[in-house]
Amino acid sequence: MAVDYTELWRRLIALGKKSAIDAAVGVLLEKNKGAGSEIAMLRKTMVDIAEIKFGVGTRPYKFMMHFLNGNGADREIDLAELFRDDRTVKDRVTSEVYRRVLGARTAKEKADQQRMTSVFPNGIDPVITIFQTNYSNTGWLNSLGTYDIHIEHVQSRLSPGSPICVTLTSKNVYRWHSADKRITQTIHMIGQTLVDLGEAHNFAMTTKRTRMLIDPKYAELLSMVTISQNNPHIEHTTFNLEAIARGTVKMFEF
């Protein structure tokens, strides 16, 4: 199936080339027109973008190459490594677990009874979303993007002041969002075009179960300055915590 290069270029022009990224992608597409075929042109352009934007050998570069060449095979993420590299992501998880497990709801949540909140021990929202603005490490940001981490189990506490021990896991999909109006929309359009043609593949980003100890005093301080999760695009069911612990409730598949 041939790539409709004219249509792709028309869509690029329709964006108005309002950003330097659009202009740069246009230059790369023109440069790679002689790559051998239109598909080769698009693939080479994505490689060029990865080299220029991320650098050869970096984590986001490797993820891009896996998208182009991995045939959709899963890619495993080490949550412990993510938390070591990005303290703000770790702090977000810490404050969210504290809020949900101990019922430390924000004023907005208390005022909005329709909002899903922490009601431990009857049930908690198990999904903590790491939004793109939550990262401090650009390597992880450019690899994962918006990323969901699941609270799989919360261990009973020995005393009110003892650490909160949680088991975390995740399964997300590396994919493109070509319809979203964002500064990198042109790149997403090319990525999705390759997926539609079967010339590149979205893939699952999975993790092993990871245990995390949370200091309640530190978490309480974080919860005072951390904005609670509020993602209007995703609504998750509230799960019963004991059912999660027993394994009778499965986490969402992505």
Instruction: Provide CB contacts within 8 A for 47, sequence distance 6+.
Output: 64, 65, 68
Q: What percent of the chain has pLDDT over 90?
A: 47
Which residues sit opposite 127 in a β-bridge?
150
Residue 80: CB atoms within 10 A of its CB come to 14
pLDDT of residue 115: 42
Tell me the pTM. Answer: 0.76
Q: How far apart are CA 246 and CA 210, in angstroms?
A: 17
Give the chain's mean pLDDT: 79
The 10s digit of each residue's pLDDT in 29-52 is: 889 988 888 899 999 999 999 999
What single-letter DSSP state applies at residue 179?
Answer: T
Q: What is the three-state SS of 123-138?
A: CECCEEEECHHHCCCH
pLDDT interval class at 123 (50, 70, 90): low
Instruction: Please give the pLDDT value at position 192.
Output: 93
**85-99, 165-179, 237-251: segment of lowest average pLDDT:** 237-251
- 192 φψ region: left (φ > 0), alpha (ψ -120 to 50), beta (else): alpha
46 backbone dihedrals φ, ψ, rounded to 5°: -65, -40
Q: How far is CA 223 from CA 91, 179, 219, 233, in A?
A: 9, 34, 6, 23
Say whether pLDDT at 216 is over 50. Answer: yes
Residue written as token pair 């390597």: 139
Instruction: Note the pLDDT of residue 247.
Output: 42
Residue 219: burial class (beta carbons within 10 Å; 0-12, 13-18, 19+): buried
The tokens of 7 are what?
């249509």
